[in-house]
Amino acid sequence: MAVTMNDVAKAAGVSLKTVSNVLNNYEFIRPATKQRVQDAIAELGYEANLTARSLRSGKTSMLGLVLSDLSAPYYAELASKLMNAAARHGYRVLVEQSDADPGAELNALQGPFRQLTDGLLFTPLSIGADAIAGRAGSKPLVMLGEHIVDPRFDLVTMKNGEAAQALTAHLLAGGRRRIAVIGAHPEESAGTAGLRLHGYRQALDQAGAPFDPALIAPGEWRRDAGAAAVAGLLDSGVEFDAVFGLNDVLALGALHELLIRGVSVPRDVAVAGFDDIDEARFASPSLTTVSPGMDEIAERSVALLLDRLSGRETAEAGVHVESGFELRIRESAP
């Protein structure tokens, strides 16, 4: 069997509870006693049993992260940074893939997954604010992304609208007039896709450029969907001189399809994305995109969640944090 606190207590000649007190940095312990306990711990190679601690204290020191698919580069990079941020505060991150499935998202919210974690970082994609509110329970919950902007929930996001507007303005400034958008989600308006599309339209309006619905292609946020969307546009005969992928993998799929079809980028068509994943910098041509400040997002969302856990943050209404952004102008849309 493993060494328990009881063994340590016996070895140090103190009570079980004193060992516990030493481990939990209880203030009033004589230095000599503390030393004896620590020596015993070192000698026996004692390691606290986290399961027992969790059962007794009700805390797991784990944060849950719910996202659709860990193999998507944006989520992979985000997860990596979140884990590092959490680790700095002594927490681990347990990841759950929802596949954007409503049932899976609900399960993550109330099932065993929730039980295993002290708080949740949640990227809802297919369920709404009311469904969440009804099942959120009492443990803290921080939303990531902007599918749900609701005063009831804490939210960490970026200035999607502003960023999309700035990026579109950049394309317009480069002389592009017919900017196709791919990856739109027609059903929603408040989600990430909706906000970015809104920013696009604002930029058009500001520049006095017309909005043409024929240029808006729906699609899931995957490389193949980006390629398919561009293929559809090309085949339909709609003219366009730029493509704005609502995220980077869409834009990279589009880029691929354009080049295959013999369309020169950026000469004939400029391409821009959103997210600034590592891959964007090394695409050929390299991809113009928006950097959402992922480090800041990761750091602040963990900080907010931990503030809720510790009770440092007590606001009744949801706290909304917005990170900054930066345009990354590269070869695909100079």
Partner DNA sequence: ATGCTGGGATACATCGTTGCAGACGATGGC
Partner DNA sequence: GCCATCGTCTGCAACGATGTATCCCAGCAT
- What residue ranges bind a second copy (CB under 8 A)? 47-52, 54-55, 60, 69-71, 73, 76-77, 79-81, 83-84, 92-97, 111-113, 115-116, 223-224, 227, 252-253, 255-256, 259-260, 278-279, 281-284, 286
Q: Per rule CB under 7 A, is residue 315 in the interface with DNA? A: no
State whether residue 32 is helix, strand or coil.
helix
Q: Per rule CB under 7 A, is residue 286 in the interface with DNA? A: no
138 binds, among DNA, a second copy, none (CB under 5 to 8 A by kind): none
Given 5, 41, 65, 181, the residue binding DNA (CB under 7 A) = 5
Contacts of 252 (CB under 8 A, 6+ apart): 223, 226, 245, 273, 279, 280, 283, 287
Given 39, 42, 43, 52, the residue binding DNA (CB under 7 A) = 52
Q: Per rule CB under 7 A, is residue 61 in the interface with DNA? A: no
Minimum CB–partner distance for residue 278 and a second copy (Å): 6
| The pair of three-digit structure tokens given for residue 98, joined into one six-digit string | 């929802």
User: Nearest 5°: CA angle at 319, between 317 and 320?
Assistant: 130
DSSP bridge pairs for 321: 156
Q: Per rule CB under 7 A, is residue 35 in the interface with DNA? A: no
Residue type, 137: G
Q: Per rule CB under 7 A, is residue 4 in the interface with DNA? A: yes
With respect to a second copy, which residue has the nearer C-beta, 215 or 287?
Answer: 287
How many other C-beta atoms are found inside a 10 Å radius of the C-beta of residue 53? 16
With respect to DNA, which residue has the nearer C-beta, 56 or 267?
Answer: 56
15 binds, among DNA, a second copy, none (CB under 5 to 8 A by kind): DNA
Minimum CB–partner distance for residue 283 and a second copy (Å): 7
Given 57, 110, 206, 264, the residue binding DNA (CB under 7 A) = 57
284 binds, among a second copy, DNA, none (CB under 5 to 8 A by kind): a second copy
H or E element that contains 259: helix 248-260
State whether residue 14 is helix, strand or coil.
coil
Q: How far apart are CA 120 and CA 66, in angstroms?
A: 8
Minimum CB–partner distance for residue 53 and DNA (Å): 4
Q: Per rule CB under 7 A, is residue 48 in the interface with DNA? A: yes
The CA-to-CA distance between both ends of the chain, in Å, stands at 65
Q: How far apart are CA 242 and CA 175, in angstroms?
A: 10
Q: How far apart are CA 206 and CA 166, in angstroms?
A: 11
Helix axes 223-236, 248-260, angle to 10 degrees: 50
Q: Is 134 exposed, middle or buried (0-12, 13-18, 19+ CB in 10 A)?
A: exposed
Given 30, 45, 71, 237, the residue binding DNA (CB under 7 A) = 30
Among residue numbers 10 through 29, which ones bind DNA (CB under 7 A)? Answer: 13-18, 20-21, 23-24, 27-29
Q: Per rule CB under 7 A, is residue 95 in the interface with DNA? A: no
| The pair of three-digit structure tokens given for residue 102, joined into one six-digit string | 């409503």
Q: Per rule CB under 7 A, is residue 2 in the interface with DNA? A: yes
Q: How far apart are CA 200 and CA 74, in angstroms?
A: 21
129 binds, among DNA, a second copy, none (CB under 5 to 8 A by kind): none
Q: How far apart are CA 34 and CA 29, in angstroms?
A: 6
5 binds, among DNA, a second copy, none (CB under 5 to 8 A by kind): DNA
Minimum CB–partner distance for residue 254 and a second copy (Å): 10
State whether residue 321 is helix, strand or coil.
strand
* Residues lying near DNA in the complex (CB under 7 A): 1-2, 4-6, 13-18, 20-21, 23-24, 27-30, 32-34, 46, 48-49, 52-53, 55-57
